[in-house]
Amino acid sequence: MVELINKSQIGGDDAVSYLPEDAYDGITEVITRSGKLVAVLPSPGEAKKVASYAITPDGGYGSVVIHSSSKDITHQSFDDWAF
């Protein structure tokens, strides 16, 4: 587990990754702590970008978790998700 953004840095919400560090480069999903799907992306790098924004007040999702996934990709990149 890697904590990407710490609660003390941004208003109480955090982004946590359950991916092996530097060992996984496949489809990745970002979900809320309650299990709501935020996005399924082709790589951990894009998922981390989405997670980092999703937890901000503008993102509006609160705390999120990143997992490997076998689901169909919903967004190709952070830009595709955000805009």
Residue span of the structural domain in which 43 resides: 2-82
Judge whether 65 and 19 are in contact, CB under 8 Å: no
What pTM was estimated for this model as a whole? 0.82
Total domain count, the chain: 1
Dihedral in degrees, nearest 10, Cα atoms 40, 44, 46, 48: 100
**pLDDT category, 11, cuts 50, 70, 90?**
low
What pLDDT, in 10s, does the model give residues 25-78?
899 999 999 999 999 999 999 999 999 999 888 999 989 999 999 999 999 999
Using the structure block, give the residue that is written with the tokens 């999703």: 54
